[in-house]
Amino acid sequence: MTGTGGEGTAAGDSSPPGGPARRPSPSSTEVPPADPPPDEVGYRGPTACSAAGITYRQLDYWARTGLVEPSIRPAYGSGTQRLYSFRDIVVLKIVKRLLDTGVSLQNIRAAVRHLRSRGRTDLARMTLMSDGATVYECSSPDEVVDLLQGGQGVFGIAVGVVWKDVEGALSQLHGERVDTGETLVGHHPEDELARRRNRAG
């Protein structure tokens, strides 16, 4: 990754900067996004569109051009349904926001590869910043400030917030068991935990 002002890292590069990337120390008050639905749960195209805020035409085009392909099941000819994972839908929503702000497809593709390579905890604390051309990863408030002061950051996307948005949207929509095809109505693995917390509160 290439450093920008020694701080933010460009989302498309894989070479390390002059030193190890700074990572914020875990905070007891930091609450990472809830675990996504299990890998055996997928979401069909219309559900993915609704949760990500995109059109089916966009979804289809992005899948056919390899920008964001479904990681659970691609379409095999007529009659088959693509199945997207929770994480796929988070990426779809981020791609939509990057496109809306004028980031080039080349840089978005690099950002997608970068997002796919990161673990859940990394995504929870990551903010993507862009100047409308290059996309940078920031993993601490200091890095965001440094990018803004250097003129590189024009807008930011907090990936953890997008994660929560998608989670909330999918809690009202249908999922599908990959092994049996069973429809799961409003599938949300955190519902029971939330109910318990509400009762405790």
Total domain count, the chain: 1
The model's confidence at residue 96, banded by pLDDT at 50, 70 and 90, is very high
Range of the domain at 44: 38-122+166-200
At residue 39, the pLDDT reads: 61
Q: Is the pLDDT of residue 104 over 80?
A: yes
Q: Which residues have CB under 8 Å from 61's CB, separation 6+?
A: 67
Question: Average pLDDT of 59-77?
Answer: 90
Calpha distance 152→159 (Å, rounded): 19
Who has greater pLDDT, 21 or 181? 181
The model's confidence at residue 22, banded by pLDDT at 50, 70 and 90, is very low
Residue 10 lies in a domain: no
Q: Is 22 exposed, middle or buried (0-12, 13-18, 19+ CB in 10 A)?
A: middle
Q: Is the pLDDT of residue 59 over 90?
A: yes
- pTM over the 0.85 mark: no
Instruction: Provide the CATH number for the domain around residue 103.
Output: 1.10.1660.10
Residue 132 lies in a domain: no
At residue 172, the pLDDT reads: 86
At residue 73, the pLDDT reads: 87
Residue 111 lies in a domain: yes
